[in-house]
Amino acid sequence: MSISQPPTPCPPHRRAAIVSIGDELITGQVLDTNSAYLASRLVEASILPVEHITVPDDDAALAATLVRLARATDLILCSGGIGPTPDDPTREALAIALGEDLVTDEPTRAALAERCASRGRPLTPLTLLQALRPRSAAMLPNTAGTAPGLFARLRPDAPAPGADVFCLPGPPMEVHAMFNLSVAPALRPVLRGGFATRLVRIVGLGESDAAAKLGPILARDRNPLVGITASGGVLTCRIRAQTPPDATSDSVHSELDRTEASIRAALPDHVLDGPPPGADRSIAPTLEESIIHALARRAETLACAESCTGGLLSEILTRVPGCSAAMVGSWVTYSNTMKESQLGVSRTLLESHGAVSDPAARAMAVGALDRSGARHALAITGIAGPDGGTPDKPVGTVHIALASRAADPATPPIVDARRLALSGPRQEIRLRAAANALALLHFRMRGLDPGRGRLSMEAACQPTAVARA
Amino acid sequence: MSISQPPTPCPPHRRAAIVSIGDELITGQVLDTNSAYLASRLVEASILPVEHITVPDDDAALAATLVRLARATDLILCSGGIGPTPDDPTREALAIALGEDLVTDEPTRAALAERCASRGRPLTPLTLLQALRPRSAAMLPNTAGTAPGLFARLRPDAPAPGADVFCLPGPPMEVHAMFNLSVAPALRPVLRGGFATRLVRIVGLGESDAAAKLGPILARDRNPLVGITASGGVLTCRIRAQTPPDATSDSVHSELDRTEASIRAALPDHVLDGPPPGADRSIAPTLEESIIHALARRAETLACAESCTGGLLSEILTRVPGCSAAMVGSWVTYSNTMKESQLGVSRTLLESHGAVSDPAARAMAVGALDRSGARHALAITGIAGPDGGTPDKPVGTVHIALASRAADPATPPIVDARRLALSGPRQEIRLRAAANALALLHFRMRGLDPGRGRLSMEAACQPTAVARA
C-alpha cells in the first residue's frame, strides 16, 4: 500500500455503489457473484461500498438508479446488460442518465469490422450495437470477450462532482479481466485512514476446529480483525487492519505480519504457503496453486485416479497455468471395468471389498503410480449421492489414498489412505473429497504423516488406520 | 413464543423489493444467497421483484432505504441484521422508518425468559433485545433459530397504502423456514394478471448468432418477452409471459408453448430438449443433464479423452446424479507420454502434427473408444493459455473430436472433428471447449452432421473440413 501520493484533480473515491443488471438476476434464476467480487476488490483498494443494487433489464429503471446513486456516491460499478442483444439495457440507460445521444465509437467499429472480416463473417447490426457509446463516454477494452465496457462521469447536479461510472459486462471472467485492466488503475482511494487486508489459507481442518485453535485471534474487538470463511473444503482467514490517519505503510504491514505469524503458529501444519517474495500479499495462493507450485519447485510429478469425483480433482489442478510442469494426467474410472482394465485393480478385490473401500482406493493409487510414471498418485472413490448409499456405506462415504514412489526404486511405494464421512449435496461432497485428497499430498510434501488428528476437514471425518503398502 | 398474524386486508402485492443487510455482504466477504432465494420464491408466487439491494449495518441508511422502497413497491422482504447484538440494525431501522418507539413484546419476553430458565441461563439484556418491536409491528416466529422476525405495514405517504415489510434473519436456513411459515401464506399475489416463465437452452451457437436467428422473437415490446444469457458456452432463453387480468392458467401456458415453439423452429438443431412430461416446465435441463439423459434413454455410453480441459468435461458430466448409467470413464492425458501409453496415439503422429492438432484429437477419441468399450468417445486437445501459444496455434486453439461406434462392429468408427478458435481467460477457454465437445455429441444423437455452420459457439469459431476416419 502506497501512502504518499501526489494530489489529483478529481475528488477521491470515498463511497461506492455496485449495480448488477439483468432479469435473470432479479428473478433469482442466476446467483449474482459479480457484486461480491467487485465489493471485495474495492475493499482491497480501501474504498467502502455503501450499497449493492440489482435491477432488471429496463432502460428507464437503470437510468433512474444511476442518477440516484450519482447523488449519493462518487463511484458506481455496473455489471451486465452490455452485450449485443436487444434486451441489454446498459448502453441506453447510461445515455439517458447523461442526457446524451448514442454515437458510434469509430475505433471500436473498425475493430469489430476487422475481427469479422478476418473470420469471414458478416458485420451485423447487432454486432455494431457494441460500438455505440454515449457521446461523453469512453470505451473500456474487453480482453476476455467481445462487448467493450463503458466509462463516464455522471453529474446530475453539476457543478457538483457526481460519480465515476464504470459499466462492465456480465460474465464473471470478463468482469475480472476488465476490472484488473481498466478499473483498478483508475481508482482514487482515500489513502489515509483506510484499511489493508491479507488472506491466509488453511487446509485439512474444519471451521470450528480452526476457530477453537485460533481462540483469541478471532476476537471481534481485535485490530487487525480476523474472520474465517469456508469454501470447497478450504478455509480462508481474512486479516483486516484498520489504519489510523498517521499510519505508515511499514507499520500497517508489520501489524498484518504479526497477525499472520500468530495464525501460522497456532496451525503450523495446516496453513498454506503465502505468495512468493515480491508478490501482492493481499492475494493468497489457492490450494491447487500451492500444490502445483510445491511440486514444480521439487521437480516432482502427480497423477490422479478418480471415481466419484469424476475428474474434479484433475480439473481443479489443471486450472493452474503451467500445471503441465507437475501434472502428468489422470484416469476417471467410473465403472468397475475401467478400474480393472485401466488401473489394474483386481476383480477379486472389487468383489470382496467393493469399489468404495480402503483397499480399492489404495489399489487405484498404486495403479495410477505404476502406469503414469509420476512421483505421486492420488486416488478417490466414494458415494457422492444423492442415491447409492447403504447402511454400511452411507452417501458421503469417500476413501482417498496417496501413493508416492520411494527414493529407492526397489522399495515399494509409500501409501496412506483415509476414510472420510462427508455431508452435503453431491457437488459439495465431491469438492471436499478433492480438497481432502490434496491435503494428504500437502502433508506428505511437508514431511508430515497425515495420521489421526491432522486431517479433520469437519467433525464428521473418521480416520482409518494408516497402513503402509 | 406467541404469534401475531399480519394485519389484513390490504391491496395485492404487485411489485416487490428484496433487502439484504450486513457489513459482511456489503464488503463482499460473504456471498448473498438469500436475495436469489427470496426472488425465486416470489416469482413462483407470480410477484415480480423490481429491485434487490444490499445495505450495511447502519440504522439510518436502512431506514431511508425502507422509506424509498415503500413508495416504489408494495412488498419488502428483508434478511439479516435482526440478531441479539447492538450492531444489528433492522429493528431500530424499522422503528425509525415507521416513526414509532420500540416496545417490548410481552409474549416474546415471557417465552425468552422461560427458555433461559429451562436452560439455567441468565436472561441478559442482549437476549431481551430480541423481544423489542416497533409499536405497530408483529413478531414472526423463528423455528430454525432464536431471533424472531418482524412484520409491519410501512405507509410513509399515508393514506397511500405503502408496503408490507417482512424482516427475516440472516442465516439461509432460518430465512427458508420463516419464509415458508410466515411469508408465503401472507403473500397476496395478483392472482390474475401476474406472469409465468419458462427456460429454453441453446447449444452450439454464440449469443449474437442466436439473436440474429431469433430476430423479432427478442423484441422488447413482445409478450411473452424473451431474453438471452450466456454462461459456460451455453445460451439460456428466458421466456416471461405477462398474464392479463382475465387470463387462465391454460391460456398462459399456451402463450409460453407458442413462444417456445417459435424458438425451436428458428433454431431447430440447437435447442436442447425440455424437461420430461409432467416435470416443472419453468426449470430446463442443463447441457450435461440433457446429454446424460439422452444417452441413458438410448442405452448408449460415453468415454472422454482430455488434454487442455484436464478433466473438466468429465467433471461436468459426472455432476449429473445417476450419470453412471451412461458415463464409463475418462483419460486426462496431459503429457504426450500419457497420450501414447494410455490412448495409443502414435509418437509419429504427435511428432509430425503436434499434440494440438486435428489428427491428435481424432486419435485420442478413437483410442478412448477402443479402450473403454463405450459407444461414443469425445476428445479435446488445445492451448488454454495464458502461455504456450505460437503464431500457427495461438492461445485458444482447440481441437475436438467425437468417435462413435458403428452399428456393424466390422465398420470403422465414425469420427467428426472441429478446430475451435476460442478467446478469453484459461478457464473460459476450457469451459467453451467442453461445451463445444458436448455440442458435437448433441448433434450426432440428433442424427445431424456437426458440419460447417452448425457449430459456432462464438464469432471466433473456425470450422475445419469434417472428414470421416
Instruction: Write the pLDDT tens digit of every residue in B25-84.
Output: 998 878 899 999 999 888 877 788 999 999 998 999 999 999 999 999 999 999 999 877
* Residue A190 binned pLDDT confidence (cut-offs 50, 70, 90): low
Q: Tell me what pLDDT residue A2 has.
A: 27
Q: Tell me what pLDDT residue A423 has.
A: 78
Q: How far apart are the C-alpha atoms of A12 and A6, rounded to whole Å? A: 12
Sign of CA dihedral A133, A137, A138, A141: negative
* Residue B138 binned pLDDT confidence (cut-offs 50, 70, 90): very high
Interface contact A341, partner B, CB < 8 A: yes
Q: How many CB atoms lie within 10 A of CB A159?
A: 6
3-state secondary structure of B411: coil
CATH class for the region spanning B287-445: alpha beta
Cell of B298: 438410448
Subunit contact A52:B53, Cβ cutoff 8 A: yes
Q: Contact at 8 Å (CB) between B382 and B359?
A: no
The vertex-A427 CA angle with A387 and A319, nearest 5°, equals 145
Interface contact A322, partner B, CB < 8 A: yes
Interface A–B counts its CB contacts (< 8 A) at 284
Strand partners, A21: A55
Q: Collect all residues of chain A within an 8 Å Cβ-Cβ radius of residue B433.
A: none
Strand partners, A236: A201, A229
Phi/psi of residue A238, nearest 5 degrees: -100, 120
Subunit contact A176:B220, Cβ cutoff 8 A: no
Most confident of B55-59, B232-236, B311-315, B403-407: B311-315
- CATH classification code of B15-186: 3.40.980.10
**A423 compared with B112, residue with greater pLDDT:** B112
Q: A333-347, A419-433, B139-153, B239-253: which range is least confident on average?
A: B239-253
| Disruptive mutation site among B19, B23, B25, B29 for chain A (greatest number of A CBs within 10 Å) | B29
| Disruptive mutation site among A65, A87, A179 for chain B (greatest number of B CBs within 10 Å) | A87
* Residue A192 binned pLDDT confidence (cut-offs 50, 70, 90): very low
| Disruptive mutation site among B208, B222, B263 for chain A (greatest number of A CBs within 10 Å) | B208
- For A82-114, the pLDDT digits (tens) are 988 888 999 999 999 999 999 999 999 999 898
pTM beyond cutoff 0.80: no
- pLDDT > 90? residue A48: no
Closest among A149, A34, A180 to B54, alpha carbons compared? A34
Average the pLDDT over B229-258 and give the result: 80
Q: Scan residues 28-57 of B and list those with Cβ closer than 8 Å to A.
A: 28-33, 35-43, 49-56
Q: Contact at 8 Å (CB) between A79 and A34?
A: yes
Subunit contact B459:A56, Cβ cutoff 8 A: no
Most confident of A334-348, B31-45, B196-210: A334-348
| Chain B residue whose CA is closest to A325 | B335
Subunit contact B50:A26, Cβ cutoff 8 A: yes
Q: Which CATH number fits domain B195-266: 3.30.465.10, 3.40.50.300, 3.40.50.1000, 3.30.70.2860?
A: 3.30.70.2860
Pairing state between β B163-168 and B225-231: unpaired
Strand partners, B53: A53, B19
* Residue B466 binned pLDDT confidence (cut-offs 50, 70, 90): very low
Q: Tell me what pLDDT residue B50 has.
A: 95
Average the pLDDT over B392-405 and give the result: 95
Q: Tell me what pLDDT residue B6 has.
A: 44
Interface contact B236, partner A, CB < 8 A: yes
Instruction: Parse chain B into domains and list their residue ranges.
Output: 15-186, 195-266, 287-445
* Residue A37 binned pLDDT confidence (cut-offs 50, 70, 90): very high
Cis peptide before B386 (omega within 30 of 0): yes
Q: Tell me what pLDDT residue A212 has.
A: 83
How many residues can be counted in chain B? 469
- What is the overall mean pLDDT for chain A? 87
From the list B29, B54, B385, the residue facing A51 with the nearest CB is B54
Cell of A295: 511440486
Q: How far apart are the C-alpha atoms of B295 and B315, rounded to whole Å? A: 17
Q: Tell me what pLDDT residue B245 has.
A: 63
Q: How far apart are the C-alpha atoms of A123 and A245, rounded to whole Å? A: 54
Q: How far apart are the C-alpha atoms of A89 and A103, rounded to whole Å? A: 16
**A221 compared with A191, residue with greater pLDDT:** A221
- Reported ipTM exceeds the 0.85 cut: no
Q: How far apart are the C-alpha atoms of B218 and B207, rounded to whole Å? A: 12
Q: How far apart are the C-alpha atoms of B337 and B341, rounded to whole Å? A: 6
Q: B84-98, B106-120, B181-195: which range is least confident on average?
A: B181-195
H or E stretch at A252: helix A249-266
